[in-house]
A and B are shown apart, each in its own frame.
Chain A
Amino acid sequence: AQSVTQLDSHVSVSEGTPVLLRCNYSSSYSPSLFWYVQHPNKGLQLLLKYTSAATLVKGINGFEAEFKKSETSFHLTKPSAHMSDAAEYFCVVSGWAAGNKLTFGGGTRVLVKP
């Protein structure tokens, strides 16, 4: 079985300040982990993915995430928020034992204040 918990349903940051979105996962095997972003009225876009290579993963638009097996976490960070980062972010777990289906967390809505 696999599951994902996003620890914050809403995060509010000021433009130019760091962003931290927290994610914990549960999986009975070595998982693949992803972060997706969903802007209003747009489809989901892949930000980055972890597939058992380097534990620090760099993605698009300045985002990065660190895989910590001991803490079963995969937190997403960005050093400096931009207004265009306002969106909903989903942490996702997948794996061959689950038929490669994606299991999404509940999402974190990010608000960026000017």
Chain B
Amino acid sequence: DAGVTQSPTHLIKTRGQQVTLRCSPISGHKSVSWYQQVLGQGPQFIFQYYEKEERGRGNFPDRFSARQFPNYSSELNVNALLLGDSALYLCASSLDPRNEKLFFGSGTQLSVL
């Protein structure tokens, strides 16, 4: 069975640009969460979606947005990129929003120059 898949694996952007990251959850999982992991730190919660509705939002600016599609895949969008947005972006899926067992993808490494 396929795990959580994320694309692209690596991305290089310049300041001010916009980026879209994609995530496909494990088949049957209806909840998708996004986390940002800056080098040397633990992941930080950005968003959670369940059944296409936002169920939670972390302490991130409005430049960050996300959505979930009818097939439960998800996109994370970041506008007006800053150097500080450089990080590993992790997507995780679970059966339901309780998150008692999250499965993580390998992440998208975003570098902002």
Q: Which residues of A contact B (CB under 8 A)?
A: 4, 32, 36, 41-46, 49, 51, 90, 94, 96, 99-107
Q: B106 to A43, Cβ gap below 8 A?
A: yes
The interface residues of chain A lying within 8 Å CB-to-CB of B90 are 43-44
Of B42, B100, B106, the contact of A104 (CB 8 Å cutoff)? B42
- Interface check B4, CB cutoff 8 A: yes
Min CB gap A36→B, angstroms: 8
Q: B97 to A100, Cβ gap below 8 A?
A: yes
Min CB gap A65→B, angstroms: 16
Of B4, B102, B105, the contact of A102 (CB 8 Å cutoff)? B102
- How many contacts A-B (CB < 8 Å)? 60
Min CB gap A87→B, angstroms: 14
Bound Cα distance from A105 to B37, whole angstroms: 11
Bound Cα distance from A106 to B98, whole angstroms: 23
Q: B43 to A44, Cβ gap below 8 A?
A: yes
Of B42, B97, B101, B103, the contact of A107 (CB 8 Å cutoff)? B42
| 10 sampled A-B residue pairs with Cβ under 8 A | A43-B90, A43-B103, A46-B102, A49-B100, A90-B42, A100-B56, A101-B33, A102-B45, A106-B42, A107-B42
Min CB gap A55→B, angstroms: 17
The interface residues of chain A lying within 8 Å CB-to-CB of B101 are 46, 49
The interface residues of chain B lying within 8 Å CB-to-CB of A94 are 99
The interface residues of chain A lying within 8 Å CB-to-CB of B56 are 99-101
- Interface check B107, CB cutoff 8 A: yes
